[in-house]
Amino acid sequence: MSNRTTRSAAAALTLGAALVLSACASGAPANEEPAGSAAATVTITDNHGEVEVPVNPETVVALDNTVFDTLDEWDIELAAVPKDVMGSVWPGYVDDPEVANVGNHREPNLEVIVAEQPDLIIGGYRFGDYYEQIKEQNPEAVVIEIAPRDGEDQFGELNRQTEILGQIFDREDEAAALNTDLDDAISGAKEAYNGTDTVMAVNTSAGQIGYLAPVVGRGLGPVFPALGWKAALEVEGATDDHQGDDISVEAIAASNPDWIVALDRDAAFAPEEREPGSAPADELITNSEALQNVTAVQQDRIVILDPNFYLTEGIQAYTALFTQLQEAFSAA
């Protein structure tokens, strides 16, 4: 029997005993619940509209990687998660045999969710394409999506997501503190930037360097407007592809960025799970013959994101990133 089941059973016994004693004391039949005993709910606005959600739901499934840091920090138990896209970042969930595995977003085992009979399912992000299917398969559950929405300010969206989680799990003070930490980290990083240095954001994977465009580039794109970065290069038609857009090292060299900030996509995975030809981002950049005379390489102004950033991308990940950027720019 899982810890979750054990706790639920114990809670049920305790509640049952309390109701019997209460009924005896009041003269009311034991099978009648007093008025106002229904579980509390909160109305939130998710990515689809207003939704009534139970406060502190008993059985929760989460599929959105951007919420795992917060849920883990708050010791929220989960019945099922997509372990195949969580790496080793959240061992409390991934290594727990009592937490069911939904798999990955390419071939998810959605029946696992149904079997857990959840009260709340936090979907979206990589699993956004399955929203309607998950709702149809779990009619008794509340299904929400609260991942940052396309076209909205990334960091305002993370604040919104955290506030919603605080309302659902009765952790509003903790949520407010997380939001304050992010806002302070952004302010600190913005103050540390001199406003004139040019910045190139790249993504490395399978031994290749990809281009991450300002605003739309995966992970680092939103950092440009947040900090007022001056882009070393702007490519027309850039996308939000998770591997970055194709770019030649010669094009990077020609733009001569003062800073290179890199998201190492392979670093989040175990060596045996990485793409053939993968190498650490700092090696790919500093060992590239074409980049030897670039200012960022010459002056060692290369910032490599936390290895797990590609998997997390939540409010804690960005708070740490902005703190890292503040320290790097302040030290230059």
CATH 3.40.50.1980 domain range(s) in the chain: 40-151, 178-331
Helix, coil or strand: residue 313: coil
Which class is domain 178-331? alpha beta
Eight-state DSSP code of residue 40 = P
Look at residues 81, 69, 90 and name the one whose alpha carbon lies nearest to residue 122: 81
| pTM, full prediction | 0.85
Over its length of 332 residues, how does the chain's per-residue pLDDT go in tens digits? 444 444 344 444 343 444 333 444 444 443 443 444 356 999 999 999 999 999 999 999 999 999 999 999 999 999 999 999 999 999 999 999 999 999 999 999 999 999 999 999 999 999 999 999 999 999 999 999 999 999 999 999 999 999 999 999 999 999 999 999 999 999 999 999 999 999 999 999 888 898 999 999 989 999 999 999 999 998 876 655 544 446 888 999 999 999 999 999 887 666 666 666 678 899 999 999 999 999 999 999 999 999 999 999 999 999 999 999 999 999 99
Non-local (6+) Cβ contacts of 267 within 8 A are 280, 281, 307, 308, 310
Domain with residues 40-151, CATH architecture: 3-Layer(aba) Sandwich (3.40)
Judged by phi (left if over 0) then psi (alpha if -120 to 50, else beta), residue 220 lies in: alpha
